Each structure stands twice: as C-alpha cells, then as structure tokens.
Structure 1
Amino acid sequence: MNSETIIYIIIAAITALSLALFQYLYKSKLNSKLKYVLAALRTISIFSILLLLINPKFESFTYFDEKPTLVVAVDNSESISYLKHDESARQVASALIDHTELNKRFNIQSYRFGKSVNTSDSLNFRERQSNISLALKQFGEVYANQTAPIVLISDGNQTYGSDYSYTAKGIEQSIYPMILGDSAVYADLSIKQLNVNRYVYLKNKFPVEIIVNYSGSETVNTELKIWSGNTVVFRKNLQFDVSKASEIISTALTANSVGVKTYRVELVALENEKNTVNNFKNFGVEVIDQKTNIALVYDRMHPDLGTLKKAIESNEQRSVSILKPKDYLSKINDFQLVILYQPNRKFKSVIDEIKLQKLNTFIITGATTDYAFLNSAQLKFNQIVTRQTEDFQPVLNRNYGTFIIDNLSFSNYPPLKSEFGNIEFLSAHDIALYKSVNGIETEQAMLTTIEYENTKHALLSGEGIWRWRAQSYLETNSFHDFDNFINKLVQYLSSNKKRNRINIDYKSFYNGNDDVVIKAQYFNKNFEFDNSASLGIVLKNTKSNSIREIPLLLNNGNYIVDLSGIEAGLYDFTIKHNSEAVSASGSFEILEYNVEQQFLNADLTKLNTIADNSGGAAYFTTQLDLLIESLLSDKRYKIIQKSSKNIVPLVDWKYLLGLIALSLFTEWFIRKYNGLI
C-alpha cells in the first residue's frame, strides 16, 4: 500500500469521526452513554463507506517450491526387442521412475514413442517405426519454459522423420541418452537404400538404384542379386574394405507385362555375419500400358498453370502439356483430358470440338473469364454475369460422394477470386466445395462435378489455387495432400467408369512398414452419402487362403479400416454392406520388409552428438548409477523456491459490506428503541 493511499485513509478516519461527533456530541441532549455508542457506530459506518470509495489494495505472498521436470522417454519400437534390449529398457525406465531421491528432486514424466508419442502406461516394443525427431520436438515445445532434462532410452536408430541430430539443436533442454546396445562393431553388409519409381510403362526400362553399406575392418567380397520370382535378372560382384564402406549400384530392368511386379534385392551374406535380415529388400513396381496425357489450354499466363502441372505430374502416370487453343486443336487426339483455364471467345473452336467428340473437361474460371461466352456455349451451367469479382473461401461439402476427399479441411485455405453471382446447373451435379464470404457459408458452388451424355466435367469457380498448394505445404511441410486431391479429381475425370454406390480408395501395393489404410464411401439408392451404414471388409490371403472379416469405422466422412501390421503377401478383399447386396472388390500386395530389423548396433555417434550439443551426457545401461548421480548433483536442476503475490482490492472483501450493514442497522435500532426517530 503506497503512502498516498495511507494519507487518504487517515483523512477518511478524521472525517468520519468529525461528522459523528458533530451529530451526536455537539449541542446534543442525549444520555451521555448512548451518544457515545451512536457516535461510534456512525464513525464506523462513514469510515467504512469512505474506505470502499478509496478502495485500498492489500498484497499477500505465498511461497512454494518448484521442482524441475525429468522427462523419461522410452523407445518402444521393434528394433529394441530385435536387438534383445527390451528387458534392459524396462528395468532402466522403472529404476528412474521409482527412484526415491529423483522423485524428491524432480517431477518425473514418462513417455513412450514410436511413430508417435504417448504417455508410458505400458511398453510392448511393437512399434513398426521410430521417430526420435518428433519425440524431441514435442518435448522441446511442451517444456519450453521449464527446466526439464530429457533421458532418452533408445538405440538411436530412427526409421521415420527428419534427422533428430538437427532437431535437437533447437531444443533448450539437456538430453541424456541411455544407450541400448554396446560399442562393439561387427562386420555387417546392409542395403541402406533402394530408389525406384512406383509406376513404369509396358516395354520400357526402369532405373533401379541400390546403396550398399559395409561396416567392418577387413576386406570382404560379396555378390548383389536382383530376383524376379525364381529368376536372377541382375547380378554384380562387390568388394568392400575400410576405405570403401559403401557403393551405389545402378541398373535398368525391363517391364514385360502389365500389373504389380515384385522384385527382391539380395546381398550374399558374409561368413559369421550376425544380422542377415538387412541383406535383402523387396520392392515393387506397377506396370501400366500407357500414360494419361492431359492438355492444359490457356490464353493468358498465370501461376495456377504451373501449380496444376506440378500437382498433376506428381503422379508418374500423368503428363501435362500447356498449350494455346490453336495448338491444342492440332494435337487433340493425343490427350485423354482437357483443362480449360479461364476460357474466352478464343476457345470457341476448342469447345465445339470437345462437344463434338464428347470429351471430358475441367474448366477453371476467374477474373478474366468471358462468362457470357461460356453461358452461350451450353456446357450445362449458367453463371449470372455481374462483371464484379469477389474473394471466396472454400468450405468442404462433407456429403460429397463422387470421389473420396481426404486429409484436407480447406478451413485455412486462402480465398479464390471469381465472379460475384450464383451458378445454375442444368444437369446432374455434385458440389464438392461451397463458397464462403467473411466466414458465412453460402449455397453457391466453388468446385462442382457434372455428368451428362456419358461424359464427366468439373467446374472450379475461382483463380489462385497456387495459394492452396502453398498453404498445404505450410501446414504439413509437404505438397502431398493438395497434389493427391487434384490427382483424385483428374483420375475421376479421366475415367468413364459408371458411378458405384461404394467407392474405395487404396494402393495396389504397400511396402512392409507402410500404413495399410483402406477408405470407402457408401451411398444410398439416391446416391446420397449414408453415414449410418454398416460396412465390413472380407480380407483373404491368397497364399494361405485365410479369411478375416473386419468392420469399417466412420471417420471424417469416410469409412476406414486400418490393416497395418498384417503379414506380407497378396490379398483379395471385398467391402460389402451387411444388410444390402452392395459391394466393391479389389486386391493389393504387401511387400516383406521390416525397417526396425535392419540395425545391428546402436547409433552411438548421433546419440553422443545430441548429448554433447545439449549440455547432457550419454550413458550405457550399465552406467545407470552414474546417470542418477549426475542428475542429482547437477546444480542446474536444483529445487527453486518461488513466491506468488496476490493483490486483493478492499472492495472484494465481503466482510466490510457486512460491517457497514450491521453498524447502520444497530444505529437505527438504538435510535428507534429510544424514540429518536
């Protein structure tokens, strides 16, 4: 309380006393005892009211001890159990979490991590991938404003995510790796990386690049083979020594038939080699008989053109040619789909030919589109022409069912510029995106698919989708989600298949550690999305003939089943409605590969690096006592006594209001009782 407030309180006390004395003592005829009582009550009332007007503030302090946090993070991936360190990991984690002195010094928080991070309620070491980078990043963000050393119980072998040695540089906390493994180096050959395109074309040669590593001190010889079934299609002799620890082998194989083709790369094992699992690796390619050629016809340059080309060509099955209208007409038979970007009257001959040949189209309109011309072209839609533009944001129609849209919410996507005014559709259509203005959703269509006369068409009302691709990268550090959305639209437009009541989305083959997720959409007889359907998948392993039936779960507008973890092999599947005769079928292959079994040693180099750079230290499991002693003796992790100051204004003190009411009532009662009122 400052001195100015104290002066006000003194003045208030003097004023209250003076007014009370003036009323009850100055020329008063009351009984001597009674007038003093009434004067005291009046003084209390007036002084209390003046105190409320002054409203002084009182400070109170509370003191408490704040412990630093100790983060115990255990690698729950399969490589720990494969290297036979799972029991050591459990013992070390349990010893740290239950240690009496550590619990007195720290608030201990335990986690387990694989591909994601979870609280450590149990450890099973069955995670098929490990992302140390993600774990360190999340710990750094959660404990950014705390003293929180991190004990990382791991072998340091990461199979997913960015390089954790770089991620660790941006973390303020000290890191103490508890190394699961030993420092012994064994002679080992491994296929470090295999690069191959997912899609190839019939009768074409496709490149295969293999990176082979060797760890050891002696000169060794081996042979690299590529098998197709029981036939060796490529072989090469290799030699390694201390000075030559890796080699890149490149070759080209021929695609002789259509479909999914699997191959096996094998390194002949060394004598007494401990880990031979990493000596082979399977890969697959999907052989297709032709590439989908797409024409992107324009009259004026715009960033959207390059964005569309990059997004569509991210799928190796497709090629995009950017052409002027007259150039397209001379090559019209070379393309399976045409994209018309902001058409005007120069597109008349193009549209006439498209209608004549009944070609599928994707029309994109914007600020410079000639809507009067488009309306007259009779393309089954009419745009109200206002000659005014507006910026519209997209809103996803969750009931859209022409094809599956996933991983995109569009909620944070920038607006597109298009004509102000509604669009009238003259044929069967399905709206994928609605327009939104200032957060208010309209019923106007932004992206629509249209079907008539056995042709398929799409209309995007708005220019500026290059911003959407950029936003996709900002949100996910990848263009994949946006490119996948555009490619699904192109896939729908490129095909003349009839619409089914069950749409399915899956890949023709999966690598061993991929997430095997199959998605489906179900529509009723009116082709309206049904979110109450009961769908199941019947999965058959073609080799063992074993059959499993699994229900699909509704998630974000799709029915989903996660088959990750099933054994490698070729599978046929059927997704069916449990009470209607509606189904859709397909097949896929899972290639045998377990990335967590590719390691023989712990990654000592990286674990020591992140420890040194963060101000921590690396220990082996046999040095647990040294780690505990280091944590307890480190002055950076002392318990800190902190104080909390609480400022309370007098007006919040309810007892003072009660005192005022009590004093005024008592004064009134005494006066009333003695006939003074």
Structure 2
Amino acid sequence: MTTETILYIILAGVLSAALAVFMYGYKSKQKGSLRWILGTLRFVTLFLILLLLINPKFKSETYTIEKPKLPVLIDNSASIGELGQKDNVSQILQNLKENSELNDKFDLSYYSFGSDFRESDSLSFKEKNTNISKALSLTNNLFKNQTAPTILITDGNQTLGTDYEFSSATFKNNIYPVILGDSIKYTDLKIEQLNTNRYAFLKNQFPVEVILTYSGTNPVKSEFVVTQGNATVYKTTVPFSENETSKTLNFTLSASAVGLQKYTAQIFPLADEKNKTNNSKQFAVEVIDQATNVLVVSKIAHPDLGALKKSIITNERRTVTFKKPAEAVSLLNDYQLVILYQPDRSFASVFAEIEKTSKNTLVISGLQTDWYFLNGAQDNFNKEASNASEDVQAKLNSNYGTFAVEDIDFNNLPPLHTEFGALTISVPNEVMLEQTVNGLTNGNPLLATMEINGKRDAIWDGEGFWRWRARSFLETESFQSFDDFIGNLVQYLASNKRRSRLEVSSETFYYNNNPIKISAQYFDKNYVFDNRASLNISVKNTETEKQTVFPMLLRNNYYEVDLNSLPAGEYNYTVSVLNEAVSSSGNFTILDFNVEQQFLNADVSKLRHIAQSTNGKAYFAIQSDMLISALMANTNYQNVEKSEQKIVPLLDWKYLLFLIVLALAAEWFIRKYNGLI
C-alpha cells in the first residue's frame, strides 16, 4: 500500500471514532456499558463504509519454476514402416518416457506428423505424405519465445511442403534429428517425378515430362516405356553413369478418345535393385472435346486481372481471353462467360450485345467503375454513386446455397476497395459474401449471384482481390484455396445446366496419396439448401463388387465425404437422400501411387544440415542414449524462475458489505431491545 492510502485509513479511523463519540458520548442519554456497545458498533459501521470507499490495495508477488520445453516430433508416415523402423521408434519413445532425470529437467510433449501435425496419442505409420517443414514451423510458433529444443524422429524424406533444409533459418530453437534408417547407397533406378496435364483436348497432343534418377557407380542402360493397356505408346533407351545420374524426358502423347485415359510409365529395373516399387508410376488424363471459354473485358490494366486469369486456368478445361470493349462486341458468341471488369461508358455496346445474346456475366466493380453508366446499362442492381471510397472486408453467408462454397477465412483477408454507397439488387439473388467494416456488416452485398430464366449473373463490388490470392499463399503455401473459390464461381456462371435438387461434385480420377473428397448439395422443393437432410453415398468397386456406404457430413452450405480409406480401383457411386426419392450417380477412378514407398534409405545429409544450422546435432536411432545425455549435459537448458505481480484489494468488498450489514443489524436489535426505537 502507498503512504497516501495509509494516511486515508488513519483519517477514516479518526473520523469514525470522532463521529461515534459525538453520537454516543457527547449527545447520547444512555449510561454505562450500553453507550459503549452502541458507540463501538457505530464506529465499526462508519469505519467499514469509509474503508470500502478507500478500497486499499497491496501488491502480491508469486514465484513459479518453469522447466524448459522438449517437444518430440514423430514421423507417422508410411515410409517409416517401409524402411522397417517401427520398432526403433517404439524403443526411442520408451527411452524418453522412462528416463526420470530427463523428465525432471524438461517438460516433454509428443506430436506426430504426416500430412498434418497433431498431438500424439497413438501411431499408425499409415500417413500417405510427409510434411516435415510444416511440423517444424508449427512447433516453432507453438513454442515461440520459449526455450524448447526439438527432437525430430524421422527418416528425413519429405513429400509435401517447402524444403525444410532451406527453411532452417526461421527455426529459433535447436533441432536434434533422430535418423530412422541407414545411409547406405543402394543401386537404384527411379521415376523421381512425372508431370502432365490433368486434361487434354480431343485429337490434340498433350505433353509429358518424366524425371528419372540413378543411384550407383557403374554405367548402366535401361528401357523406359509408357503403356496404355497392352499397347506401348512411347519407348526409349536411357543411359546413366556415376556422373550422369539424372535424365529428363519430354515427349507428347495423342489424345485420340474422349474420356479417362490411363497410362503406366516404367523404367525397367536393374538386376540388383532393392526397391522396384519406385520403377513404375500410373498416371491418367481426361480427354475432353471442348473447353469452357471465358472472356474478360477490361479497359484498364490491374493486378486483379492477372490473379483472375491464373485462378481460372488452373483448371486446364478453361481458357481465358482478354479484350478491350471495342474488340469484344463481335466475339461474345465464342464464350460461355463474360467478365466485365470495372465497366464505364465505353462498355455500352458490350452490354447491348449481352442483352441480345443473353450471355452469362460477372460484373466486377471498383474505384474506376462508372456507376452512373452501369446503373442504366442493366436492370439487375443499382448503386448510389458517390465520389468517396470505402475499404470493406468479406463475410461468408453460411446460408448461401446456390453452389458449395468453402470458407477460405474470408474474415481475415485484406480489405477490398469500393465506392461508398448502398448497393441494391432488384432481382431474385443470393448473397455469397457480405461487406463488413470494422467487423460489422454494413448491409451491402460484396458478391451475389442471380439466375433468371436460365441466365446466370453475378456482381462483385470490390477491387484488390489479387491480395486475397497472395494472402492465401502466405497462409497455406499454396494458391489452391483461392483458385478453387474462383473456379467454383466460374464453373457455376459459365454453365446453363438446369439446376437439380441434388448437385454432386466429384473428379473423374484421384491419386490415392491426395485427398479423395466428394461434395453434394441438396435443396428442398423450393430450391432452398436443406441443412437438415441426411445424405449417404454408396460406393461400389467395379472389380471386386464390394459395396460400402458412407455418411456425408455437413460443411456450412454443402455435404462432404472423405474416401481416402478406399484402395486403388474403379468405382461407381450413388448419393441418396434419406426418406426422399432423390439420388445422383457417377463414377471415379483411384490411381495407385504410394509416394512413401519410393525411398530406400534416410535422407541423412538434410537432417544433419538442419541440425547444424540450428546448433543441434543429429543422431541415429541406436544413439538415443547419447541424445539424452547431451540434453542433460547442456547448460543452456535450465529452469527459469518467473515472478508474477498482482495488485489485489486488502479486503474483499463482499466481506466488508457483510460486516457493515451485520454491525447495523446488531445496533438496530440492541436499540429495539432497549426500547430506544
């Protein structure tokens, strides 16, 4: 307590005593002990009331001992089992958990990783991908500003994410890799990577790129072939040597038939190869007879246009053409969707032609949009024009039901620039994204879709969404989430297909090391999305005739099922709605490719490099005792004493209030008993 507070308390005591003496000593007619009892109670009441008003406080300081953290990251991918390291992992974990001295010095926590990163409760070694970089980055964020040396139990073979070897500069804590597998170099031929388009056009050639690698010392030759069924569609002989360990083949194949075309690429193994799984790889191309053509009409240059194009052409079934308004008028019939970017009076002839041809449109407005012109050029929407600008953010309408939209964290995306004013849509519509300012909706749509007599239109009132694509990459190290959002919007707007009550979205083929997901939307008889329905998907393997039924789970405004548990093969599926005579059928193929089976040994050099660059040290699995000894001997990892200072009230106001009431009640009772009231 401060000196000032103590003086106030003394003053309160003196004042309370003076008032009590004045009331029961000087003015009171009572005699003997009664006046002293009543005077004391009145003093207590007055003093406690004044004490409650002063509210004295004092500082409380507590001390805690915090042990250094020791996160243990465990590789839960299938390659650990392929390299025969499951028992080594179990032994390492047992040594860590049973060492009492280590557990006394460190606060240990266990995490497993494959494609994702999570707290470890059990290990399956069935993850189909390995993302070491993500696991280290999340650990770095989780233990930011803490002493947390990290044990990394892995074979070092990464199949997803950025290269962890070159990301080590961002890791603040020491990393101690425990290497699973040996460093012996075996003779091996391998298809390192195969790149091709997912789609090709009928009667065209599509490119294929194959990277082949060789591990060995003697000069060798092998034959590389690509087959489709029993037919060989490409063949060449490839030489390798100790100095020439990699070959890149570029060739084209013919798309001669519509539909899914499956191929097998193979480099014939050498006689002494240990791992022959990585000598072949299946791939597929869906051949289509026409593309979805999108025309972007713009008078200005803007980064949004580049982001728009990159997102749309991510799907090879779509093409994008840019034209100025004067050039676009005569070309509209060649396109399924016309995107009008920030239109002004130079777009007059384009809008007139769109009205004649009933082309589907997406209007994107911004600070350079002429709203006086745009309000008169169409009848779907109207905005109060002004010369003021406004920055707005987006909020996903969870009830949007026109098509499935995944929330890509719209709330936290950078703001878009728009002209200030109320936007009113005068035709039946659904708002997908709402405008927000400082976290509050302002009543205006940011993105809304309309469908009238089979014609589909949309209004996007905001420029600067190229930053959304950039932020998407910064957050997820991929543009995919934003590109999928744009792709779904374009797919809906470019189609004139009549809407059905059950819409199912699936791919023609999947690789089994990637997510295998099918989504669906179910609408009631008024074509309003029904989130109370129960959807099931029945999946049948066409070869084994095995049939499996999965429930589809509700995700905001669509239903989804994850089919990664299915083995490779060809499948037919039927999505049905419980207690409704509504269903939708289709088929897909799962191609067999287990990237975790491609490795012969541990990537020792990368693990040693990341240990060295973070001032840690790498150990092999049999050296776990040496790792524990090194951690125990390191004087940099010490307990930290932390103090916490709190300012707390001297007396709880509830207790003071109780004592005041008690003193007043006692005084009243005594006075009543003695006939003084």
Q: Which TM class, normalised by the smaller chain length?
A: 0.7 to 0.9
The whole-number CA distance in structure 2 between the counterparts of 1:195 and 1:390 is: 46
The whole-number CA distance in structure 1 between the counterparts of 2:444 and 2:81 is: 56
Mapped contact 1:366–1:419 kept (Cα < 8 A): no
In structure 2, what residue type is equivalent to 1:504? V
Q: Which moved more, 1:501-510 or 1:61-70?
A: 61-70
Alignment of 1:414-453 (within 5 A): 414-418=415-419, 420-426=421-427, 428-437=428-437, 439-441=439-441, 444-453=444-453
Q: 1:219 to 1:334 in 2, by over 3 A?
A: same
Mapped contact 1:293–1:337 kept (Cα < 8 A): yes
Mapped contact 2:502–2:583 kept (Cα < 8 A): yes
The whole-number CA distance in structure 1 between the counterparts of 2:492 and 2:557 is: 19
The whole-number CA distance in structure 2 between the counterparts of 1:249 and 1:555 is: 43
Give 2:382's aligned residue: 383
TM norm structure 1: 0.87
Deviation of the 1:526 alpha carbon: 0.8
Q: 1:421 to 1:101 in 2, by over 3 A?
A: closer
Deviation of the 1:584 alpha carbon: 1.7
Q: 1:469 to 1:122 in 2, by over 3 A?
A: closer
Mapped contact 1:52–1:650 kept (Cα < 8 A): no
User: RMSD value over aligned CA atoms?
Assistant: 3.8
Give 2:115's aligned residue: 115
Check if 1:274 corresponds to 2:247: no
SS of 1:321's equivalent in the other structure is strand
Q: Write out per-residue CA displacement over residues 57-81 of structure 1, whole angstroms, 9 at most, x where no aligned residue.
A: 6555544432222222211111111
Give 1:564's aligned residue: 564
In structure 2, what residue type is equivalent to 1:201? F
Give 2:310's aligned residue: 310
Alignment of 1:131-210 (within 5 A): 131-210=131-210
Give the aligned length: 675
SS of 2:631's equivalent in the other structure is helix
Alignment of 1:403-552 (within 5 A): 403-413=403-413, 414-418=415-419, 420-426=421-427, 428-437=428-437, 439-441=439-441, 444-552=444-552
Mapped contact 1:97–1:110 kept (Cα < 8 A): no
Identical counterparts, % of pairs = 47
Give 1:89's aligned residue: 89
In structure 1, what residue type is equivalent to 2:382? Q
The whole-number CA distance in structure 1 between the counterparts of 2:54 and 2:594 is: 75
Deviation of the 1:569 alpha carbon: 1.6
Alignment of 1:221-232 (within 5 A): 221-232=221-232
Deviation of the 1:389 alpha carbon: 5.6
Give 1:618's aligned residue: 618
Give 2:364's aligned residue: 364
SS of 2:412's equivalent in the other structure is coil
Deviation of the 1:533 alpha carbon: 0.9
The whole-number CA distance in structure 2 between the counterparts of 1:648 and 1:419 is: 49
In structure 2, what residue type is equivalent to 1:584? S
The whole-number CA distance in structure 1 between the counterparts of 2:675 and 2:532 is: 81
Check if 1:340 corresponds to 2:340: yes
The whole-number CA distance in structure 2 between the counterparts of 1:189 and 1:395 is: 51
Q: 1:639 to 1:31 in 2, by over 3 A?
A: same
Q: Which runs of 5+ in 1 are unaligned?
A: none
Deviation of the 1:518 alpha carbon: 0.6
Mapped contact 1:209–1:250 kept (Cα < 8 A): yes
Deviation of the 1:654 alpha carbon: 8.1
Q: 1:322 to 1:22 in 2, by over 3 A?
A: closer
Mapped contact 2:70–2:108 kept (Cα < 8 A): yes
Give 2:243's aligned residue: 243
Deviation of the 1:4 alpha carbon: 8.0
Deviation of the 1:537 alpha carbon: 0.9
SS of 1:635's equivalent in the other structure is coil
Mapped contact 1:402–1:499 kept (Cα < 8 A): no
The whole-number CA distance in structure 2 between the counterparts of 1:431 and 1:540 is: 38
Mapped contact 2:196–2:209 kept (Cα < 8 A): yes
In structure 2, what residue type is equivalent to 1:448? A
Deviation of the 1:593 alpha carbon: 0.3
SS of 1:92's equivalent in the other structure is helix
Give 1:354's aligned residue: 354
Mapped contact 2:52–2:653 kept (Cα < 8 A): no
Give 1:284's aligned residue: 284
SS of 1:610's equivalent in the other structure is helix
Q: Which runs of 5+ in 2 are unaligned?
A: none
Alignment of 1:635-650 (within 5 A): 635-650=635-650
Mapped contact 2:371–2:385 kept (Cα < 8 A): no
In structure 1, what residue type is equivalent to 2:245? A
The whole-number CA distance in structure 2 between the counterparts of 1:18 and 1:495 is: 91
Q: Which moved more, 1:386-395 or 1:147-156?
A: 386-395
The whole-number CA distance in structure 1 between the counterparts of 2:641 and 2:301 is: 65
The whole-number CA distance in structure 2 between the counterparts of 1:207 and 1:316 is: 13
Q: Which moved more, 1:591-600 or 1:56-65?
A: 56-65
Q: Which moved more, 1:611-620 or 1:597-606?
A: 611-620
In structure 2, what residue type is equivalent to 1:381? N
Mapped contact 2:333–2:357 kept (Cα < 8 A): no
SS of 1:497's equivalent in the other structure is coil
In structure 1, what residue type is equivalent to 2:486? I
Q: Write out per-residue CA displacement over residues 503-531 of structure 1, whole angstroms, 9 at most, x where no aligned residue.
A: 12222211220100111110011100000
SS of 1:487's equivalent in the other structure is helix
The whole-number CA distance in structure 1 between the counterparts of 2:99 and 2:147 is: 19
Deviation of the 1:334 alpha carbon: 3.3
Q: Write out per-residue CA displacement over residues 551-580 of structure 1, whole angstroms, 9 at most, x where no aligned residue.
A: 111122211100013111222212111222
Alignment of 1:16-95 (within 5 A): 58-59=58-59, 61-95=61-95
The whole-number CA distance in structure 2 between the counterparts of 1:659 and 1:357 is: 86
